[in-house]
Amino acid sequence: MISSVLGEVDGTLAAPGRRLHRLGAIPGDGIGPEVLDVALRCLEAASRLFDFELQTTHYDLGAARYLRTGELVPDDELAAIGGEDAVLLGAVGDPEVPPGILERGLVLRLRTAFDLAVNVRPGRLLPNVPTVLKDLAPERLDLVVLRENTEGMYVSAGSRAHGGTPWETAVQLATNSRHAIERIAAFGFRLARLRRKRLTLCHKTNILVEAGRLWEQTVKEVAEEYPDVTLDYVHVDACCVHLLERPERFDVIVTDNLFGDIVSDLVAVVQGGMGLAPSANLNVDGTAPSLFEPIHGSAPDIAGRGWANPAGAVFSAAMCLSHLGELDAAAALEAATADVVAQLPAMGGAAMGCSTSEVGDRIIERLQGWANGAVPPLGTFTSSVAPAASGRRAGGEVETVPDRAAPLAKTETS
């Protein structure tokens, strides 16, 4: 089911001289509609302030649709979504739907259909945001996790045998292709060039020998094209330890689907909680729309109470703007959201001191301030998608992220 919200766009054509971006919006379940509504309001405000136009189409997909009709993503709606310039997702999940149905039938189908090969999960500790790590200064956590998004353990390859007997057996297979590894590695090296020129491959080559060898061999081959970027390797378990003990060790982390899922969630907790963390699912070839979403779940227990922090959704919207080439608007929206988050007494719940919608109001007010002054540079979140977009402002200069993290004393293999 599709509904259009044209905002300031009259029909499908932008006003002369103004850029038009067509967005697909999937509010989803639980707190998804609440946080996505804030993100869309911030995008509309940005479009007015930075002179571009948006045409937003809402798609009724998620648990409620499935429970009502049994449908996940009908083919005609999948085709319609494929015609958008980008897609924003709120959150998906409901306890009434058994695990795996929405994840495979909706989330993984979108990733596969649109070849969303690179999952970008930036991690940055914002000023005045509490973290689980004692005495962690913001300049020590500024990194990007790149998760291969179409293969690994998530391809639904496996089988079960001997059901109902003591010998019942399950086999789950992982797939790893040179093509997918080359693609995410090349993206990672291009991103590292824009940051601190360090890339770490994260895997488990001492146990997952065949897959690990393919990953290590392929990434090393790609590295030859980027001699200015330092490459090192770390086992996934050691990576988790380093993220807790000295996260400044990392700049860009490249890893497979399963390890990336786990490591990036750990980064989100360290940076202040899942509610603050944005993500992008990128089609790096430009053949289909990329998808942007906060990484938190649907949190049905607090849905409708106004307790959800929309920062992750708004940061994701800022990444979307960067991907679409609206770099000034993207940078201003990231900075405005960070400013507001820094003033919150808590990162969610009743203790946040204002409702989900009111956080959005504050972000829009701060965004107006940035638009009327000097626009800041792209931050960690908005610069993380630059290799998949133009990576340039209107003036033509290449964007880089400020070097906030402490330098590495040496390169290690763990």
Judge whether 204 counts as a catalytic residue.
yes
233 is catalytic: no
User: Cβ–Cβ contacts within 10 Å for residue 197, how many?
Assistant: 15
Q: Burial, 414: exposed, middle or buried (Cβ in 10 Å; 0-12, 13-18, 19+)?
A: middle
Active-site entry in 66, 154, 226, 233 = 154
> Would you tell me how many other CB atoms lie within 10 Å of the CB of residue 369?
12
Q: How far apart are the first and last CA of the chain?
A: 50
Taking the mean position of all CA atoms in its chain, how far away is CA 237?
Answer: 23
Residues in the chain: 414
From the list 59, 66, 94, 204, the catalytic residue is: 204
Owner of token pair 């302030």? 49
Give phi and psi for 254, each to the nearest 5. Answer: -115, 130
- CA–CA separation, 266 and 284 (whole Å): 25
Out of 51, 60, 85, 265, the active site residue is: 265
Active site residue 154: yes
Question: Is there a catalytic annotation at residue 197?
Answer: no
Clarify whether 59 is annotated catalytic.
Answer: no
> Active site residue: 10, 237, 285, 403, which one?
237
Q: Which of 239, 143, 196, 230 is nearest to 407 (CA)?
A: 196
Q: Is 242 in contact with 250 (CB distance < 8 Å)?
A: yes
Residues marked active site are found at: 154, 204, 237, 261, 265
